[in-house]
Amino acid sequence: MPESKKIKGSVTPKISGSKTKSIKSEDTKKIGVSATRAKKIRNSYKVKDAENAIVLKLKDGDVVIEMFADAAPNHVARIKELVRQGFYNGLKFHRVIDGFMAQTGCPYGTGTGGTGKKLKAEFNTRPHKRGTVSMARSMMPDSADSQFFICFEDCDWLNGQYTVWGEVTSGMEFVDKIKRGAGQNGMVNEPDEIISLNVIADL
């Protein structure tokens, strides 16, 4: 985990008029959108490459993250794989330090878990600045798994030591509203959650 400097084509079902009143809420989620509507949704995020961009839904709004497939191809591929499996949906921001970063991606909500698949480090020249999305890891360089963090501010001391794989390009104001933790480690009591995480090309 990063150290704080201070502490070192679904098919739309046909529904006839009167029957719509009796649709259960869980069934409404199965109703697809038209191809035109889906395209408008994707285009509304204004990203360079919809296949390498994700939208993180938080309680306060949508956060768009554009991924650096050139700088960290294996990490980006793995993140997209997990996103498409729905792995991140409902996971908690278990460690959040004001002025530093918000960390998530642990299936246990404690910072102790992952998927069991470790990734070889792809340290690159991308700086850790406000809005940077980078992989959390242990003391071992090649120990990153599913956990990642978003920087609230510039964190130059992390440069070259953690794999930067993305950057928030819109919605950083919603990241700023993620509930903070307490103590030196920033563990959060009743933490905020990821509502959903999706590859924009899939919307």
Q: pLDDT tens for residues 111-152? A: 999 999 999 999 999 999 999 999 999 999 999 999 999 999
Q: What is the 3-state secondary structure (H, E, C) of 11-69?
A: CCCCCCHHHHHHCCHHHHCCCCCCHHHHHHHHHHCCCCCHHHEEEEEECCEEEEEEECC
Alpha-carbon gap, residue 96 to 56, rounded angstroms: 17
Q: Average pLDDT of 28-55?
A: 81
Please count the structural domains in the chain: 2
Domain that holds residue 94: 48-202
Do 88 and 15 lie in one domain? The reply is: no
Do 78 and 142 lie in one domain? The reply is: yes
pLDDT at 38: 80
The secondary structure of residue 154, as a DSSP letter, is: -
In a domain, 154, yes or no: yes
pLDDT in tens, 180-203: 999 889 999 999 999 999 999 999
pLDDT at 126: 98
Do 29 and 102 lie in one domain? The reply is: no
Strand order in the sheet with 148-151: 95-97, 101-104, 148-151, 132-135, 164-170, 61-67, 53-58, 196-199
Do 54 and 108 lie in one domain? The reply is: yes
User: CA 178, 185, 175 angle in degrees (round to 5)?
Assistant: 15
pLDDT in tens, 75-115: 999 999 999 999 999 999 999 999 999 999 999 999 999 99
Residue 5 has pLDDT above 70, yes or no: no
What's the mean per-residue pLDDT of the chain? 89
Do 170 and 89 lie in one domain? The reply is: yes
In a domain, 90, yes or no: yes
Do 100 and 26 lie in one domain? The reply is: no
Which of 83, 147, 80 lies closest to 112, judged by CA? 147
Residue pair 53/66 in contact (Cβ under 8 Å)? The answer is yes
